[in-house]
Chains A and B, each alone.
Chain A
Amino acid sequence: MIRINNLTKHYKAVQALKGVNLEVAAGELFAYLGPNGSGKTTTIRILTGLSRPTSGDAYLHGYHIERDALKVKRQCGLVPQTINLDHELTVYENMDIHGRLFHMPSRERSRRIDELLDYVELKERKESPVKHLSGGMKRRVTVARALMHSPGILFLDEPTVGLDPSIRRRIWSLIKRIQQGGTTIFLTTHYIEEAEFLAERVAFLDEGKIVAVDAPQNLMARLGAWALDEIINGEMDTTYFKDREEANRYVERQQGSFSLRRVNLEDVFIFLTGRKVLP
Chain B
Amino acid sequence: MRGCFAIYYREVLILKKKLFRQMASMAVAPTLYMVAFGLGMGRDVQMEGRSYLEFLIPGLVAMNSMTQSFAIAGEINIARFYWRIFEEFQAAPIRNIAYVTGEVLAGITRALLSVSIILVLALAFGVVLSYNIFFWLGVVLNSFVFASLAVCLAMLVKSHADQALLTNFFITPMAFLGGTFFPVERMPAWVQNILAFLPLTHAAKAIRSASFDLVPGPFSYFLLAGIGSILFVLAFHCVNRAKD
Contacts and interface: CB of A to CB of B under 8 A. Distances in A.
Interface in A118-149: none
Nearest to B86: A84
Contacts of B10: 86, 89, 97
Given A70-B93, A73-B93, A98 B88 contact: yes
Contact of A89 (B13, B92, B93, B243): B13
Contacts of B243: 50-52
A172 B76 CA distance: 34
B9 A74 contact: no
Nearest to B98: A101
A89 B13 CA distance: 8
B87 A102 contact: no
Contacts of A89: 10, 13-14, 17
Interface residues on B, range: 20 to 34
Nearest to B8: A100
Nearest to B10: A97
Given A73-B93, A74-B93, A89-B17, A50 B2 contact: no
Contacts of B244: 11, 51-52
Given A97-B9, A103-B2, A49 B85 contact: no
Contact of A76 (B3, B17, B91): B91
Nearest to A81: B84
B239 to A, nearest CB: 13
Contact of B83 (A49, A52, A86): A86
Interface residues on A, range: 20 to 34
A85 interface: yes
Contacts of B93: 70-71, 73-74, 101-103
A207 interface: no
B160 interface: no
Interface in A95-120: 97-98, 100-103
Interface of A: 11, 48-52, 70-71, 73-74, 76, 78, 80, 82, 84-89, 93, 97-98, 100-103
17 contacts: A11-B244, A48-B91, A49-B90, A51-B243, A71-B93, A74-B93, A82-B84, A85-B85, A86-B79, A86-B85, A88-B17, A89-B10, A93-B13, A98-B92, A100-B9, A101-B3, A103-B93
Interface of B: 2-3, 5-7, 9-10, 13-14, 17-18, 79, 83-85, 87-95, 243-244
